[in-house]
Amino acid sequence: MNLDRDRYRALIEARIHEPESLRTALTGRTRRTIAGADGRLLILAADHTARGMLAADGDPLAVADRFTMLDRLIQALAVPGVDGVLASADVLEELAWLGALDNRLAIGTMNRGGIIGAQWELDDRMTAYDADHVEAYGLDGGKTLLRIDDTDPGVARTIEAVAAVTTQLADRRLMCMVEPLPYVKDASGRAMLDTSDERLIKVVAIASGLGSSSAYTWLKIPASDRMAEVAAATSLPILMLGGDPGADSDRTFDRWSTAMREPNVRGLVAGRTLLYPHAGESHQAAARAAAIVHGGSA
């Protein structure tokens, strides 16, 4: 299934002449339960553009073209075993209007204020969905980003905001997907991911204790060669992120496959790895990931 240009132009016209049709498509889509029979999930991540992250596979603007992104999402969502998508309101409404979200999970991203490269990057303010609108627009949950650096005062505000949202979503019995990541500052003050397993374990423990209830919290974290130790830091279900592996996608897929052996590692939330693969098409990469999540092998 591909997106054709005529259908895309009709979407643009709907934004101008029938704007309510986008929200109606989202609220009226056919819903499903969060976890299927195997309790595993493969979610496509498409919320990168909302905080200015447009690069993939060496191209600084790979994700910028909206037609191409939607086309790749539609192809990947049609693959058996792909359970849904994580995105900002613009992308979710577009996919729903195009008919791609029936019987698929729709997770709304919430704090996208930490614009990539900005001086305030780790002050991840809530600029997308809030809990009220996650519920009102018929979404299946909300996702928050929690990047923890020990020197940035903006992190404290982010922790407080993520804790509040965790409680608000739990009160509504909606999934709260928290993405805790350890960060450091380089010599120029730029925020960088800390790849230390010890610090990853620490932020997993911190995220597990946020809010007044953890009953609906799922964690989104990087895969690790020490996944047994990382997963042991919590009983919460874990979904692994993808990032931008470039030419080394085989290592990413191998890590995912090995990590799925841990009892609370329940699947993937992957974006650029699947939508902009170094080799092959998005639907092929999605099918390979689906085999890992739902079929137990690459």
CATH classification at residue 234: 3.20.20.70
How do residues 71-127 score in pLDDT, each as one tens digit?
Answer: 999 999 999 999 999 999 999 999 999 999 999 999 999 999 999 989 899 999 999
Tokens 């058996």 correspond to 80
Nearby residues of 134 by Cβ (< 8 Å), 6 or more positions away = 108, 110, 141, 142, 169, 172, 174
How do residues 40-80 score in pLDDT, each as one tens digit?
Answer: 999 999 999 999 999 988 899 999 999 999 999 999 999 99
Q: Distance between CA 53 and CA 50 in Å, rounded?
A: 7
Please tell me the total count of domains within the chain: 1
Q: Where is 286: in which H helix or E strand? A: helix 282-290
Mean pLDDT for all residues in the chain: 94
Contact 33, 72 (CB under 8 A): no
Q: Distance between CA 115 and CA 85 in Å, rounded?
A: 21
3-state helix, strand, coil in the chain (%, to 5): 40, 20, 45
DSSP letters spanning 26-74:
HHTSPP--SS-TT--EEEEEE-GGGGT---BTTBTTTTT-HHHHHHHHH
State the alpha helices, DSSP H only, in 89-140.
Answer: 89-97, 131-136
Residue 246 has a pLDDT of: 66
Chain centroid to CA 43: 7
**What does DSSP assign to residue 294?**
I
Contact 123, 113 (CB under 8 A): yes
Question: What average pLDDT does this structure show over 145-172?
Answer: 96
Residue 221 has a pLDDT of: 97
Residue 298 has a pLDDT of: 45
Contact 117, 52 (CB under 8 A): yes
Range of the domain at 84: 5-295
